[in-house]
Chain A
Amino acid sequence: MENKNNNTNVSETINQQGTGESTTETKTDNTAKRKKTQVSADTGKAKSKNNNSKQTKGGDNSGVDITIQNEGTSGKGGNAESTVIPAPETPQTTADHTRARIAADIFKRMTHETVFFTADFIPFGDKNDAVRHAANLSDKTIIEHKKQ
């Protein structure tokens, strides 16, 4: 019989992967951000209502959070709003590192100058595609990565 594992091995392997766990964590973080963070129109800085809330990706970044209307033409999720935030200069969470690694690979292979990640880690070369995709997700945050 091939590759037979017991439960211990299963647990070990899952821990080694770590991705599933981090994905869940990221989604939770993003949800927390959406619920607890407001965008101030005049300063453009994110404010947290809850001091106990976790540091989320892009939280330290002073870049302006842009709320844009979904520009989708296919008629799905047309009223949803997406928030585009720039990627943190220094990746902090596992999710940040994952996105940075995927973006680096894209910039290496392709001619894109910018990549837009939706909350489910799908990288789009076109912002409108990302907005359209985010409209179907519960977390509509879009992280913008620029070629260094």
Chain B
Amino acid sequence: MPQLPYVNINYDNGAIAQAVASNDGLLCIAVIGFDSKSSYLEAGKPVLLTCVNDLVSLRVNSGYEPNGHIFAIVEDFYKEAPEGTRVYLVVYPDTLSMSGILATYDPYLTEVFLKTKKEIRGFIIARKYNKGDEEGRNDDGMHSEPEQAIIHAQQFGNWTAQTHNAPVFVLLENYLFSFYDSSLETGELSGYDCNRVGLITGCTSWYYNNQAVGLVAGRIAVTPVHRHIGRVKTGAIKVDSISIDGTPINDNYSQILTENHHITFRSLAGKAGFFIADDCLCSFDDYCSLTRRRTIDKAYRIAYALLIEELNDEIPVNGDGTMLETYATAFEQSVENAIALNMTRNGELSVDPSDANDTGVKCTVDRTVNVLATNQIKATLRVRPFGYAKYIDVLLGFTIVQ
């Protein structure tokens, strides 16, 4: 039936800071310990926040309120991230442990991850201070809870990648960390070989005794995947003081914590304020820094979304069962193009400007595989990250010629 010609104008939504175009910085802050009587927070139910005032509507207020620690974390988040930045908040009763909510066989953060359609790129785990919990500290100054949670956090990250093809990282609050007896030694976190897990050490508030997880989360949320969260040009983090177990942080503390793969803070001579010292994860491999982790995880998600379309597709083969050269080239090109479009174009991969064909990504299909017999395509995908100026050595002298 013919239809009258018409003009239809629809409202587009989400262009003005209400929603971010990319989910690269979409995080979930999980807080163990909350008061349900005084707020509308529900245990295990993720709430999407876009500003601090969203907490007020949930009856979570600042100061000496029972859920003041939650307010402080979210307030810190929005000191670094502008209003409109999306972040999930989920709370659990203090009967649960960090390991407990991260366990892949229990329905806590696994449920949150699935409920939020696997959009979340990173989980930040914090815990409300309970009087007497100091007894749980080990000899190396770390509390047993985050220490035990490291392995579970890695398993959780692996579960998101291997089972759901949507990899995430996990940052744990180094709950109640203390340098014991001024021995200035702490656990060697790199020994864990957990390249999806980081530990945040350094408090902003003596009252809540919480590490500054909100500040780090806020900085991550607004930082592109290829950018170091401790980049000096980005500016100091918005905080007046950082302390560890009540003692203001100093260079010695920052040095030892960074050597031991903690994410901590530092001050810089000639620069006001505090900066994130480094973005170490608990490992020594290629993915030992958060920047590398986020870069490769983004490539993973893009590649997966593209390759899933190729499943069960027919492949033209040569007489010996190997893939046709033209098809192999087209396959490589499509993968490279997808990553170049979503990452290189955003400046998230390193490219050689003198080479017009360099996109910072290289996909290579193994042409020797007998596709007919094995039904397999074997490929290698490599992306080129940026290097980072972590150590700058300069020899300074006079230009006088003897």
Contact = CB atoms under 8 A, between A and B. Distances in A.
Interface of A: 1-7, 9-10, 13-14, 17-20, 23, 72-74, 76, 98, 102, 105-106, 109-110, 112, 115, 120-125, 128-129, 132-133, 136
B61 interface: no
A14 B304 CA distance: 18
Nearest to A12: B163
B93 A76 contact: no
Interface string B87-108: 0000011111100100011111
B222 interface: no
B95 A13 contact: no
A2 B161 contact: yes
B162 A3 contact: yes
Contacts of A133: 36, 42-43
Contact of B95 (A2, A23, A76, A115): A115
B44 interface: yes
A125 B379 CA distance: 52
Contacts of B111: 23, 120
Instruction: Give the interface residue-count category, chain B.
Output: 35 or more
B158 interface: yes
Given A18-B105, A121-B107, A124-B93, A72 B37 contact: yes
Contact of B97 (A17, A109, A136): A109
B163 A14 contact: yes
B93 A2 contact: no
A127 B124 CA distance: 28
Given A72-B37, A74-B38, A74-B39, A1 B163 contact: no
B218 to A, nearest CB: 28
A94 to B, nearest CB: 10
Contact of A9 (B36, B162, B307): B162
Given A115-B95, A120-B107, A74 B36 contact: yes
A6 B164 CA distance: 11
Nearest to B311: A7
A40 B96 CA distance: 34
25 contacts: A1-B380, A2-B296, A2-B300, A3-B161, A3-B162, A4-B303, A13-B162, A19-B104, A19-B107, A74-B38, A74-B39, A102-B100, A102-B106, A105-B100, A106-B96, A115-B95, A121-B106, A121-B108, A122-B44, A123-B96, A124-B93, A124-B95, A132-B36, A133-B43, A136-B42
